[in-house]
Amino acid sequence: MNVIRTAMLLALMTALFMGIGYMIGGSGGMMIAFVIAAGMNLFSYWNADKMVLRMHHAVEVDERNAPEYYGIVRELAARAELPMPKVYLIDNAQPNAFATGRNPQNAAVAATTGLLQRLSREEVAGVMAHELAHVQNRDTLTMTITATLAGAISMLGNFAFFMGGSRDNNNPFGIIGVLLAIIVAPIAAMIVQMAISRTREYAADRRGAEICGQPIWLASALDKIARNAKAIHNQDAERNPATAHMFIINPLSGERMDNLFSTHPNTENRIAALRAMAQEFGGGGQPAQPAQEQPRAPHDETQAGPWGGRPTLAPPPAAPEKPQSNPWGRNPTGPRSRRS
């Protein structure tokens, strides 16, 4: 049902794009809009992942310079029977993560340094399982194309403001069509975009909990991320708001309401659904840290990252600990993490 619903929403977005072209320039405008939409879809299919990663200055890491983080993703991908995605690290204090890529064979997951430093190993596993669920459900391609079309519809609205009133543009609706293109169409596009994003977040929460086997890990992680995201500014996300819906928690400052215009469902609702799922699992284990923990001192917060002494993702037995001198990919000899 989710696949059918998403396909219908994407068809609606393309029809809306063509409809705006018709309101601006008649049948000729509709055909031009169709060609633009097809071109943008094709471009997004092949290049969207690279664009998003570049926007957020993500650096690819591997088993040498981020052994714990990379190992978590590798184990979870094996559990989900997915190809190993590329793993990226974003030098940003705000705890957050996202996935991108046109299909599971060409996927990438990215987490911020803030996520690895502030969450326990179990909570990081819950977050990355959520992102792998997006990959498995092919949400990354769907939401990226939708975001691209939504941005293009807004662009057409701006174009209508300057060109729609011309008498030689075959506009069958006159000034009314121009006003609809300027005001109503971008809002409708945003509604469709947010509807897709919000629907997929609930589905990815559930599938992610199934992948890691512990819904309560993701519930605890969502609580921590949401509280820290409110207090820590994400400059790259603010510069590229069209990518906000790709993150596990809205990285932008401002709205957090579970309404028609929010990029994500209400965090409390997501946590409640995961806790109910934990009951289905027979309790779902205990979180590495209480979901409503008291704020810790800065030293303790940063020490959460290496996850020393905490259990593995069980049931496999714990492997011997590797040196933890550089778990976040900041080795000067490794990939460059400076922003370009």
Contact assessment for residue 9 and residue 195, using Cβ atoms and an 8 Å cutoff: yes
Beta strands, E only, 23-141: 58-61, 86-90, 97-101, 107-112
Q: Which residues are annotated as a binding site for Zn(2+)?
A: 130, 134, 201
Please indicate whether residue 131 is annotated as part of the active site: yes
Residues 6+ apart with CB under 8 A from 118: 95, 224, 228, 301, 304, 305
Closest CA to 127 of 248, 15, 34: 248
| Catalytic residue of the set 131, 210, 293, 321 | 131
Per-residue pLDDT of the chain (340 residues; tens, 9 = 90+): 556 666 676 677 777 777 777 776 667 767 777 777 777 767 777 887 898 899 999 999 999 999 999 999 999 999 999 999 999 999 999 999 999 988 899 999 999 999 999 999 999 999 999 999 999 988 887 776 766 666 667 666 666 656 554 444 555 556 666 666 666 666 666 666 566 666 789 999 999 999 999 999 999 999 999 999 888 999 998 888 778 888 999 898 764 444 445 668 889 999 999 999 999 887 544 443 333 333 333 334 433 444 443 434 444 333 334 433 333 344 433 344 444 3
Report the Cα 118 to chain-centroid distance in Å: 19
What are the pLDDT digits (tens) for 261-308?
Answer: 566 888 999 999 999 999 988 754 444 333 333 333 333 443 344 444
Q: CA angle, corner 101, sides to 329 and 248, nearest 5? A: 70
Q: Which residues are annotated as a binding site?
A: 130, 134, 201
Tokens at residue 110, please? 């990215």
**pTM of the predicted model as reported, rounded to 2 decimal places:** 0.72
Where b means 16+ CB within 10 Å and e means fewer, 24-58 reads bbbeebbebbbebbeebbeebeeebbeebbeebbb
| SS3 state at 100 | strand
* Other CB atoms within 10 A of residue 251 CB: 30
Contact assessment for residue 158 and residue 225, using Cβ atoms and an 8 Å cutoff: no
